Every structure is written in structure tokens, then in C-alpha cells.
Structure 1
Amino acid sequence: MNISKQENTPIYKVVVNHEEQYSIWSTERDNAPGWKDVGKTGSKEECLSYIKQVWTDIRPLSLRKKMQEVNL
């Protein structure tokens, strides 16, 4: 039986938590509590590239909000 490399390549999904922090998870795993899908799936490289594009400020949301309050 000939199995192509693509069939053995794991598929990942991009997830985000309430602090707007991103991660990737195997599509075969359930999300941990507090993490939700953002709708992007693909290879590890594709998912990490997506995160690099959208997660431009890696500070947690609560810290960004606190810093905005201080700067007002």
C-alpha cells in the first residue's frame, strides 16, 4: 500500500484565547478550555505564518488595556 507524504502530514488549526494570544493545535485534539478556533487550518508552517501576520502585538489584551488607561 502506497501512502503519500501528504496523507501523513498533520493538519493544524490556529486557536486564540481570551487574552488574544495565539497558538496552534492538532485538528485531532479538542481545544483546551478558554481557547477557540479562528478558522485557519493547514500545515504547521501555514498556521505559524498566519499567526505571524495577525499577531502583531504579542502583549496580552489585559496589559494592552491597562497601558491604554495609563496613557489617557
Structure 2
Amino acid sequence: MAEKSADDVYRVVYNDEEQYSIWWASREAPAGWHHEGTEGTRDECLAHIEKVWTDMRPLSLRRRMAELDA
């Protein structure tokens, strides 16, 4: 495994269930994950995720729960 560096640049990625993670900017996102638009240090990316990912439930669960409430 590659050694982590404070200079590593990361990207915020998300999947079709609107779950977030970080990935190295120098690598293609894994299958099923999409670049969200934010790049920076690991800490910057994690701080961004903390701001935007306010509902940890997968999208499919949120939709199903909304249907049951309707």
C-alpha cells in the first residue's frame, strides 16, 4: 500500500445511493462512484462531506420511507 502524504490530493466521490467518500485525485473513481466536484486535502474533503451528507440513509431507503409516509 502506498504511503500517505500530507500533500496527497483527494476528491469527494458519491454513489447512486448518495453515499459519500474520498478517493485519490490521481486515480479514476471506482466503478459506481462519481466525482462530486470537490478536491483538496484529506481533511478538507472530509470536512466538506460532513457539511453536505446530513442524512446517512441510502437514497433508496429515504425514497421508500417517503412512500410509506404519503
**TM norm structure 1:** 0.87
Q: Counterpart in 1 of 2:28?
A: 30
Alignment length (residue pairs) = 66
Q: How high is the sequence identity, in percent, across the aligned residues?
A: 48
2:55 counterpart of 1:53: no
CA spacing shift, 1:24–1:70, aligned 2, 3 Å: same
**Considering only aligned residues, what root-mean-square deviation do their CA atoms show, in Å?**
1.3
Structure in which a larger fraction of residues adopt helix: 1
Q: Which digits, 9 at most, give the CA deviation of each residue in 1:25-44, with x for residues without a partner?
A: 01111111111101100000
Bigger CA radius of gyration: 1
SS of the residue corresponding to residue 39 of structure 1 reads strand
Query: Structure 2 stretches of 5 or more lacking a match?
Result: none
CA spacing shift, 1:8–1:23, aligned 2, 3 Å: closer
